[in-house]
């Protein structure tokens, strides 16, 4: 089955290493993993989409991750109505005369060209995974040079507030990257 999990972790070196081995150990395939700083200082929020046979019960990965000291909270949102979105960059090469056709085509999607040269353009898009897939499919008529996809990010819907998790800020000393980022910005 496919499972979507949100993991809140302390922002410190090695934390991904500690988490990812549990997926490997259970023979879960990570389809996508996306991480970034959260609303709480020192806390990184990760969305993981994984695939697995039904050998283990669904909550096992959650309880195993929760056991880790560096993990603050784990939420399995597989069946919680949520906004799940992906961001993608696609580098395409077209013939000169095809450029308009490309612009026309992507109008059907929430996508835009954010960089373009004589023949090559970079398209930026966001959407559900299926929309991104469909965009890529339709651009295939041109020459796709590169694709970079963020993988899914998820947030439970507004009307699901009981599923929202409040994360407390943690000791500033412990926030490693976020501390450096905010130091750099301030």
Partner 1 sequence: MKKQKLTGAEIIWECLIKEGVDVVFGYPGGAILPTYDALNNYREKIHHVLVRHEQGATHMADGYARVSGNVGVAMATSGPGATNMITGLATAMMDSSPIVCITGQVPTAVIGSDAFQEVDITGVAIPVTKHCYLVMDVEELADTIREAFYVARSGRPGPVLVDIPKDIQNAETEFIYSEKEINLPGYQPTVDIQDDDIKEFAKMVNEAKKPVILAGHGILLSEASKETLELAEKASIPIATTLLGIGGVPDSHPLVLGMMGMHGETWVNNAIQNADLLIACGMRFDDRVTGNLKTYSPNSKKIHIDIDPSEINKNIKVDLAIQGDLGNVLRHVNPFINSAKKTEWFNIISGWNKESQQRDVLNIKTDALLGAQAIRKIWEGTKGNALIITDVGQHQMLEAQYYEHDDPRTLLTSGGLGTMGFSLPAAIGASFYEKDRDIWVIVGDGSFQMMLMELATAVQEGVNINIAIINNGYLGMVRQWQQMFYDARYAETPISSPDFLKLAEAYGINGYRVKSLDEIIPAMNKANKITGPTLIEFIVEEHDMVYPMVPAGANLNDMIQRPLFNENGQYKKKEKVL
The answer to whether residue 21 forms part of the interface with partner 1 (CB under 8 A) is: yes
- 120, 147, 170, 177: residue in contact with partner 1 (rule CB under 8 A): 170
Residues from 69 through 98 that contact partner 1 (CB under 8 A)? 69-72
Residues from 53 through 72 that contact partner 1 (CB under 8 A)? 56-57, 59-60, 63-64, 66-72
Least Å distance between CB 72 and partner 1?
5
Shorter beta-carbon distance to partner 1: residue 43 or 135: 43
**Part of the chain binding partner 1 (CB under 8 A), chosen from 7-15, 77-85, 112-120, 130-138:** 7-15
Q: What are phi and psi of 176, to 5 degrees?
A: -85, -70
Instruction: Name the burial class of residue 31, with classes exposed (0-12), middle (13-18) and buried (19+) by CB atoms within 10 angstroms of its CB.
Output: middle
Least Å distance between CB 170 and partner 1?
5
The answer to whether residue 44 forms part of the interface with partner 1 (CB under 8 A) is: no
The answer to whether residue 37 forms part of the interface with partner 1 (CB under 8 A) is: no
Measured between alpha carbons, how far is 99 from 101 in angstroms, rounded to an integer? 5
**Range list of β-strands (E), the chain:** 2-10, 29-37, 43-51, 71-76, 82-93, 111-116, 120-127, 143-149, 153-156
Instruction: Give Cα 173 to chain centroid, integer Å.
Output: 26
Q: For residues 11 and 139, is the Cβ–Cβ distance under 8 A?
A: no
Applying CB under 8 A, the residues found at the interface with partner 1 are 9-10, 14, 17-18, 21, 25, 56-57, 59-60, 63-64, 66-72, 168, 170-171
């Amino acid at each position: 089955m496919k499972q979507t999990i949100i993991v809140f972790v302390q922002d410190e070196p090695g934390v991904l290493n500690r988490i990812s081995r549990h997926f490997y150990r259970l023979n879960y395939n990570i389809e996508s993993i996306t991480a970034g700083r959260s609303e709480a200082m020192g806390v990184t929020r990760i969305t993981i989409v994984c695939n697995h046979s039904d050998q283990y019960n669904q909550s096992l990965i959650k309880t195993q991750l929760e056991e880790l000291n560096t993990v603050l909270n784990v939420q399995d949102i597989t069946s919680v109505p949520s906004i799940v979105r992906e961001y993608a960059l696609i580098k395409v090469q077209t013939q000169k005369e095809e450029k308009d056709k490309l612009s026309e085509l992507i109008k059907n999607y929430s996508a835009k060209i954010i960089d373009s040269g004589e023949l090559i353009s970079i398209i930026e898009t966001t959407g559900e995974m299926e929309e991104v897939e469909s965009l890529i499919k339709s651009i295939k008529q041109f020459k796709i040079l590169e694709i970079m996809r963020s993988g899914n990010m998820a947030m439970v819907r507004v009307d699901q507030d009981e599923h929202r998790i409040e994360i407390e800020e943690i000791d500033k000393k412990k926030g490693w990257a976020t501390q450096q980022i905010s130091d750099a910005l301030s």
